[in-house]
Amino acid sequence: MFDMNNLQNMLGDMQKNIKELEEKSKESVFTAKSGGGLLSVSVNGAGEVVDINIDDSLLDDKDALQILLISALNEAYKNMENNKKSLALNMLGGLNPFGS
């Protein structure tokens, strides 16, 4: 038989776990490098860019700088998203709703 109180408790626990997951994720920092380390970008778990380091040698080549910056940003965001998925999977006890 369906127990509404049980469902509400489960949803409440899940919301609490999600909030804890979000807070834990915000504390994480993900750094990606491109151009052999000439450029690095760091983002936190909330998707905010928290640091960018650019080697002085790139300042004379705008096109290369743009390409390397895009590459590093994409990699940092990919790392952040993979971490979120991993934390969510751990929270769900190994069930994989993402299909991969």
Instruction: Give the CATH number of domain 28-91; options: 3.40.50.720, 3.10.20.600, 3.30.1310.10, 3.10.620.30.
Output: 3.30.1310.10
Q: Supply the Cα-derived Rg of the chain in whole angstroms.
A: 19
100 is written with which tokens?
Answer: 């991969």
Cα 60 from Cα 55, distance rounded (Å): 10
Whole-prediction pTM: 0.71
Q: Give tens-digit pLDDT for 49-92.
A: 999 999 999 999 999 999 999 999 999 999 999 988 887 777 76
Q: Answer for the pair 44, 26: CB distance below 8 angstroms, yes or no.
A: yes
The CA distances from residue 61 to 54, 58, 67, 84, 92, in Å, are: 12, 5, 10, 35, 47
